[in-house]
């Protein structure tokens, strides 16, 4: 395990990261001008730029029409019924207690007592599970994997409020699941259809009592089942979308579930909770193992492509942990069988690195992590830290290797346009020239950063420029020391000295 001091220097201010080639992150002045010698290889990526205007004012506000009408005081019972529909018992009590001279005195007193009791109870409950006392918007903001969420009004539905997660169904071109305040909406969008605003008739509403707000969704990689989780509900729901049946996976401790992640081979599911525990479900017989973490809840995690290794980070610690699982969980015996302890693979704590223009600070806590489908690049979106880059979230890029031993090497820092914050990062699920990292910047630009390397999954790619055997120019010798390797460097056949340009010629390993 090593620290971030091995990272290559940050790109000069004002430059944006364009792509990775020959083990180097290449920067340019802007996204529109790739260097001329690279034009021949430029893949046709869609250019997306969302203008900020629709993001800032999402159509109309929720209460927008309220101001246009004269305030009319309804009778107490009508208000009670409304409150019952909206909030439940406590709403009714609140309404009765706050009413003036419409109900009998004793009713008012009784309801205010009941309300006090209610509040005390919920306070007690909240002190056990502190996250429950947050408002639902805060819940979503707290547990979502996006730094700063905004809503794009292109699909509209009456129930689509407080969207916290979106998930496209794998092995399908048209099904999108949206996690909303009170339900899950399943949109079926025809990819051939030309209409940009599908009607709300295309949406299918799935709701389950006690399961709101929904903040996390995960489709199984073979497209059969959908998992949904809510920080309020202790159970994870397994949905069969087409028959609209759901099976709760009950768990009586730990409050709720904040984040779900299905391993790419579909055998395991990571479920993090708001308390200092996370669980890994095995996806055949649905048994689970739980891992207590030392401090704080599990913030984010990512699975290796074969589903045998889990990297995760914990809130409050600038570390990346790794947890290994056995190869195949023995023929349907329903066991997870993970390692007993997690190992620390990277230390992301704050360090200073030397750049030509002076010292720069780098490091902090990770906010989200993504691993590319070939298992060779890992991108980490850091939390905003006032000492680092004026509080901007930084994207760190690592090289990884998963077999035969796990290795983590620094690759670089992805930089955007000046003033833009990274909000969400994701890898393309099947990019056959390496990996394709998509970053959603706060300016509304979605930048695609291709990382060209010979992919072990698609070894047919041969770069056109013919300089592949050349060792990478520059970059500094220190970058080739692995941040972490499971074996001792001497005994490893891929020790740092011989593996300087391993990502250029991994075809030999096949």
Binding site for other proteins (CB under 8 A): 171-175, 191-192, 204, 207-209, 222-225, 238, 240-248, 250, 266-267, 284-287, 328, 331-332, 334
Let me know: does 379 contact 32? Beta carbons within 8 Å: no
247 vs 465 by CB, closer to other proteins: 247
Nearer to other proteins, 90 or 284 (CB): 284
**9/224 with CB nearer other proteins:** 224
Q: In whole angstroms, what is the distance from residue 510 CA to residue 508 CA?
A: 6
Shortest CB 361 distance to other proteins, Å: 44
For the bound state, the minimum distance from the C-beta of residue 171 to other proteins, rounded and expressed in Å, comes to 4
Q: Which is nearer to other proteins, 148 or 245 (CB)?
A: 245
Q: 204 or 500, CB closer to other proteins?
A: 204
- Write down the least CB distance from residue 469 to other proteins, Å: 28
> Which residue, 153 or 210, is less far from other proteins as judged by CB?
210
> DSSP states of 212-281 as a string?
-S--EEEE-TTSS-EEEE-SS-SSEEEEETTTTEEEEE---SSS---EEEE-TTSSEEEEE-SSSEEEEE
- Closest CB to other proteins among residues 211, 448: 211
Q: Which is nearer to other proteins, 88 or 474 (CB)?
A: 88
What string of DSSP letters covers 102-171? SS-HHHHHHHHHHHHHHHHHHHHHHHHSGGGGS-HHHHHHHH-SSSS----TTS--TT--S--EEEEPTT
For residues 25 and 489, give the distance between their C-alpha atoms in angstroms, rounded to a whole number: 26
In this structure, what is the dihedral angle of CA atoms 302, 303, 305, 306, given to the nearest 10 degrees?
170
Q: How far is CA 205 from the centre of its chain?
A: 24
Minimum distance from residue 266 beta carbon to other proteins (Å)? 8
Please count the other Cβ atoms lying within 10 Å of the Cβ belonging to residue 226.
Answer: 24
Q: How far is the CB of 223 from other proteins (least distance, A)?
A: 5
Q: How far is the CB of 48 from other proteins (least distance, A)?
A: 18
* Phi/psi-derived region of residue 101, left when phi > 0, alpha when psi is between -120 and 50, beta in every other case: left
Nearer to other proteins, 209 or 358 (CB): 209
In the complex, what is the shortest distance from the CB of residue 212 to other proteins, in angstroms, rounded to a whole number? 13
Whole-number Å distance between alpha carbons of 171 and 436: 20
Q: Give residues with Cβ within 8 angstroms of 299, minimum separation 6.
A: 272, 312, 313, 314, 315, 365, 366, 367, 368
Please state the closest distance from residue 245 (CB atom) to other proteins, in A.
Answer: 5
Do you find a cis peptide bond into 404, omega within 30 degrees of 0?
A: yes
Contact 15, 27 (CB under 8 A): yes
State the nearest-atom distance from the C-beta of 241 to other proteins, in Å.
7
Measured CA to CA, the distance from residue 186 to residue 113 in angstroms comes to 42
Which residues fall within 8 angstroms of residue 259, CB to CB, at 6 or more apart?
Answer: 143, 145, 215, 216, 229, 270, 271, 272, 298, 300, 301
> Which C-beta is closer to other proteins: that of 123 or that of 286?
286
CB of 287 to other proteins, least distance (A): 8
CA distance linking residue 324 with residue 319, whole number of Å:
16
DSSP classification of residue 416? -
d(CA 369, CA 302): 6
Q: Which is nearer to other proteins, 109 or 172 (CB)?
A: 172
């Amino acid at each position: 395990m090593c620290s971030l001091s091995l990272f290559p220097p940050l790109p000069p201010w004002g430059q944006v990261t364009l792509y990775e080639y020959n083990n180097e992150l290449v920067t340019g002045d802007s996204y529109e001008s790739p260097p001329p010698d690279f034009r021949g290889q430029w893949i046709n990526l869609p250019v997306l730029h969302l203008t900020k205007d629709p993001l800032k004012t999402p159509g109309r506000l929720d209460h927008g029409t309220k101001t246009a009408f004269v305030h009319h005081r309804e009778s107490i019972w009508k208000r009670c019924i409304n409150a019952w529909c909206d909030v439940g018992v406590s709403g009714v009590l609140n309404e009765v207690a706050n009413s003036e001279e419409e109900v009998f005195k004793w009713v008012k007193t009784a309801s205010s007592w009941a309300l006090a009791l209610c509040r005390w109870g919920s306070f007690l409950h909240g002190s056990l599970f502190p996250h429950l006392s947050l408002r639902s918007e805060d819940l979503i903001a707290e547990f979502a994997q996006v730094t700063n969420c905004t809503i794009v009004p292109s699909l509209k539905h009456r129930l689509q409020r407080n969207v916290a997660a979106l998930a496209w169904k794998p092995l399908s071109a048209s099904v999108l699941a949206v996690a909303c305040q009170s339900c899950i909406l399943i949109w079926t969008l025809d990819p051939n259809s030309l209409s940009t605003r599908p009607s709300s008739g295309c949406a299918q509403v799935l709701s389950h009592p006690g399961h709101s707000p929904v903040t996390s969704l995960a489709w199984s990689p073979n497209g059969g089942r959908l998992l949904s989780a809510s920080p309020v509900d202790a159970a994870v729901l397994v949905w069969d979308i087409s028959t609209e049946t759901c099976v709760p996976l009950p768990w009586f401790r730990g409050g709720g579930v904040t984040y779900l992640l299905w391993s790419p081979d579909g055998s395991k599911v990571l479920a993090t909770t708001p308390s200092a525990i996370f669980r890994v479900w095995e996806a055949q017989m649905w048994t689970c193992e739980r891992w207590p973490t030392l401090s704080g809840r599990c913030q984010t995690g990512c699975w290796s492509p074969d589903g045998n290794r889990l990297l995760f980070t914990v809130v409050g610690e600038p570390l990346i942990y790794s947890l290994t699982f056995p190869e195949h969980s023995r023929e349907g015996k329903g066991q997870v069988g993970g390692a007993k302890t997690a190992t620390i693979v990277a230390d992301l704590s704050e360090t200073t690195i030397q750049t030509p223009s002076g010292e720069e600070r780098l490091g902090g806590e990770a906010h989200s992590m993504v691993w590319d489908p070939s298992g060779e690049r890992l991108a980490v979106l850091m939390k905003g830290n006032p000492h680092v880059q004026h509080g901007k979230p930084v994207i760190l890029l690592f090289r990884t290797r998963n077999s035969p031993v796990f290795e983590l090497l620094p690759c670089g820092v992805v930089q955007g346009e000046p003033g833009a914050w990274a909000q969400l990062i994701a890898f393309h699920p099947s990019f056959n020239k390496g990996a394709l990292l998509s970053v959603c910047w706060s300016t509304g630009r979605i930048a695609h950063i291709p990382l060209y390397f010979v992919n072990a999954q698609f070894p047919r790619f041969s770069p056109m420029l013919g300089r592949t055997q050349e060792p990478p120019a520059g970059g500094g010798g220190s970058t080739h020391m692995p941040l972490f390797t499971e074996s001792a460097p001497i005994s490893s056949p891929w020790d740092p000295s011989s593996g300087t340009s391993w990502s250029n010629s991994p075809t030999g390993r096949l």
